[in-house]
């Protein structure tokens, strides 16, 4: 069984910083990519940042220059450092992992989602 657990969401003031963590646990063969998504009320879930196992990164234009995604492969953990936070960053942030798990017939690849962590930016 694979589980993704996010942490670090909080209430912060505009201009503040926050660091989110997402740890993947369970029987995992390979992690191909880990991504951060967010969803604000009334809006579609959107990709915020992503990182591959080769350390290729991508960011939404709205967060580029303010957010930094990183990973610790030994811990199967991805981080999202968020600086210069704005009220429009308020959302539930979800971790997604593109990974494979071992089976009797070989590796099975699919996406897994975390439960989400609330980030609120308000004065």
Give mean pLDDT, residues 66-93.
Answer: 96
From the list 16, 121, 9, 6, the residue with the least C-alpha distance to 66 is 16
Averaged pLDDT for residues 86-103: 97
pLDDT above 90 as % of the chain: 96
What pLDDT, on the 0 to 100 scale, is given for residue 80?
98
CA distances (Å), origin 41, targets 10, 66, 85, 106: 17, 22, 18, 40
Does pLDDT of 102 surpass 90?
yes
**pLDDT at position 13:** 98
Q: Please, which residues have CB within 8 angstroms of residue 73's CB and are 6 or more apart in sequence?
A: 31, 53
Contacts with 83 (C-beta within 8 Å, 6 or more apart), sequence order: 17, 66, 67, 68
> What is the token pair recorded at 32?
């191909």
Please tell me whether residue 73 adopts helix, strand or coil conformation. Answer: helix
Q: What confidence category does residue 73 fall into, taking pLDDT thresholds of 50, 70 and 90?
A: confident
Determine the average pLDDT of the residues in 49-70. Answer: 96
- Non-local CB neighbours of 44 within 8 Å, separated by 6+ positions: none
Q: Does pLDDT of 45 surpass 90?
A: yes
As a 3-state breakdown, the chain gives helix, strand, coil percent values, each rounded to 5, of 5, 60, 35
For the stretch 11-41, pLDDT in tens is 999 999 999 999 999 999 999 999 999 999 9
- Over residues 64-89, mean pLDDT: 96
């Amino acid at each position: 069984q694979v589980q993704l657990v996010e942490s670090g969401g909080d209430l912060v003031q505009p201009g503040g910083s926050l660091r989110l963590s997402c740890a993947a646990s369970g029987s995992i063969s390979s992690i191909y990519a880990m991504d951060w998504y967010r969803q604000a009320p009334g809006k579609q879930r959107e990709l915020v940042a992503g990182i591959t196992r080769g350390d290729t990164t991508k960011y939404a234009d709205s967060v580029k220059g303010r957010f930094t995604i990183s990973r610790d492969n030994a811990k199967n953990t991805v981080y999202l450092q968020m600086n210069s936070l704005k009220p429009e960053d308020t959302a539930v942030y979800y971790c997604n992992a593109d990974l494979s798990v071992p089976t009797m017939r070989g590796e099975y690849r699919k996406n897994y989602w975390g439960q989400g962590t609330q980030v609120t930016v308000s004065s």
